[in-house]
Chain A
């Protein structure tokens, strides 16, 4: 029981984290039609910034806030210098150009921070276990991630659904040319959306940093997961990204936790223990393949024509 609740919450926490990453990716994808592989690099930069700033200021929260600002600025600079010129080009060009950016960021990080990873220590008040149910404790920090991510998701939802900028973003996702024709400053909107996406990726990175070590290439595996999510959810759809992110987070976490035991009931011990890690890593890709075969446009396509 304890294990189930704990793993369930872990899955939720991981899913929400993935949502932060996927939300920015799906916005950029849906609105600017840009495939940004370097989104994972922004996630990595968020973690590195947080670790550095937290060490400077001696405060976790202050460091996190500064890192958030720094990734926002980095995203805006990146958009204005490089990615802006890729809009309207072939998707293949996007893949290649942003692949180049990944190489650049990984190498830049190695140059600045060195090849060894960094650690981002948590303040004492976030390390205590919190009782969530009678007899069941859960780490405060993971709980904090869930709360912050849910809050951000809510703000994002309200921002996109209830504000003027959100309306423009939605309009942009469904018909790019039209909002330009209506006299909206698309350039500014694009820069803004990209910055927002970068900040969300940075937030995901800095929140994940204390759980994992901050290291080069940390953005790449999770980037592919984020892509899986937006493809499952339907490109450009925030709602789809949210549901798919929770789903993927749960499946991945629960699969890793319980699949070995399940397999052991069907297979012999040795076979199960070799098959289980591979199979649980494959689960989400399998899920994506199934979704794409059944619904090639994802579960919640944004711009249904």
Chain B
């Protein structure tokens, strides 16, 4: 392993930037950038969790946004019912996401390839319609979260800087966890399954069980992102779970570099900044974004991380 590579340098630079951002925001008085980056960090967390199943596990889930909604609705619904404590809201959000992942994972993993992509999509659409039908909790219009999760003085989520650092800490924790998982025996089995499922099964690994566990871990992580997102926007609606959202998450993972540790974070930062930047130049930003995606798929194999890796080799 080389001590210095371009991709490592860029990653370090990005991480340093993320850590120092509130300082910049404070000094320049630019509050908007902190709000924007809180969103970016949360969605980077969601993308990182998707990368765990897509990049390491080889499971192409097209319904990952469902967890964003489930985590968000757990927070929103509990808040609505008068349970404001984050010590209850967050565990419930994680448990609900994990349960959902366990059920749909067990069903979806019976299929593979395109069928897997489609069945995960179908389940996410079901979740979307369930949320639209929740008349008590806003239905189609969504649910306003009037009070952010209360961690009894430990951390104040209404304070922008504290909330940002909470999100960033969650992101780092998740990445460390993914790193540990990817290099554990469990992770190696998963990566073996990604390359050749039949062979792994022949050696005697219960393929589906490994994949299911990975699927649940990933879903739980994304549920955390959902709970944070609901706190960030003070609002949760079925639109969070819409299938284009799942598409966005996939784009972030691919754009950054699937199967790399920091790729999804990079992808989320670039994708969301690009969206922000383009939408400031022109109202019709998607007119540029769409073909750009096509070009990235056609010519940019391995995403940004792959590109940086090639730079390094010269």
Inter-chain contact A95/B290, CB cutoff 8 Å: no
Contacts of B117 in A (CB 8 A): 35, 91, 95
C-alpha gap A99/B297 in the complex (Å): 11
Contacts of A138 in B (CB 8 A): none
A296 touches which one: B110, B122, B126, B284 (CB < 8 A)? Answer: B110
Inter-chain contact A292/B115, CB cutoff 8 Å: yes
A96 touches which one: B129, B251, B291 (CB < 8 A)? Answer: B251
Closest B residue, CB atoms, query A274: B135
Known A-B contacts A100-B294, A107-B290, A293-B107; the reply to A278 vs B118 at CB < 8 A is no
- Mark out the residues of chain B between 102 and 117 whose CB falls within 8 Å of any chain A CB in the assembled complex: 107-108, 110-115, 117
C-alpha gap A107/B275 in the complex (Å): 14
| B244 on the A face (CB < 8 A) | yes
Interface string of A135-153 (1 = CB under 8 A from B): 0000000000000000000
Inter-chain contact A282/B126, CB cutoff 8 Å: yes
| B88 on the A face (CB < 8 A) | no
Closest A residue, CB atoms, query B122: A285
Inter-chain contact B293/A91, CB cutoff 8 Å: no
| A281 on the B face (CB < 8 A) | yes
Inter-chain contact A92/B60, CB cutoff 8 Å: yes
Inter-chain contact B129/A281, CB cutoff 8 Å: yes
| A288 on the B face (CB < 8 A) | yes
Closest A residue, CB atoms, query B54: A92
Inter-chain contact B287/A104, CB cutoff 8 Å: yes
Nearest-Cβ distance from residue A94 to partner chain B, whole angstroms: 8
Contacts of B112 in A (CB 8 A): 296
Closest B residue, CB atoms, query A281: B129
Contacts of A85 in B (CB 8 A): 298
A104 touches which one: B60, B113, B286 (CB < 8 A)? Answer: B286
| B165 on the A face (CB < 8 A) | no
C-alpha gap A108/B284 in the complex (Å): 8
Contacts of A97 in B (CB 8 A): 293-294, 297-298
- Mark out the residues of chain B between 191 and 248 whose CB falls within 8 Å of any chain A CB in the assembled complex: 243-244, 247
A99, A228, A292: which has the most chain B beta carbons within 10 Å? A99
| A111 on the B face (CB < 8 A) | yes
Inter-chain contact B247/A95, CB cutoff 8 Å: yes
Range, interface on chain A: 35 or more
A231 touches which one: B119, B126, B251 (CB < 8 A)? Answer: B119
| B65 on the A face (CB < 8 A) | no
C-alpha gap A11/B112 in the complex (Å): 31
For the complex, count residues of B whose C-beta is within 8 A of A. 46
B114, B289, B297: which has the most chain A beta carbons within 10 Å? B297
C-alpha gap A254/B134 in the complex (Å): 22
C-alpha gap A209/B291 in the complex (Å): 27
C-alpha gap A286/B119 in the complex (Å): 10
C-alpha gap A296/B118 in the complex (Å): 11
Inter-chain contact B293/A96, CB cutoff 8 Å: yes
Inter-chain contact B114/A92, CB cutoff 8 Å: no
- Mark out the residues of chain A between 80 and 114 whose CB falls within 8 Å of any chain B CB in the assembled complex: 82, 85-86, 89, 91-93, 95-97, 99-108, 110-111
Contacts of A29 in B (CB 8 A): 114
Nearest-Cβ distance from residue A71 to partner chain B, whole angstroms: 19
Nearest-Cβ distance from residue B187 to partner chain A, whole angstroms: 20
C-alpha gap A224/B125 in the complex (Å): 9
Given contacts A86-B298, A96-B293, A103-B286, 14 further A-B contacts (CB under 8 A): A29-B114, A35-B117, A91-B114, A97-B293, A100-B294, A101-B294, A104-B294, A110-B284, A228-B118, A228-B122, A235-B115, A281-B129, A281-B133, A282-B126
B residues whose Cβ falls under 8 Å from a Cβ of A = 54, 60, 62, 107-108, 110-115, 117-119, 121-123, 125-126, 129-130, 132-136, 243-244, 247, 250-251, 254, 258, 284-287, 289-294, 296-298
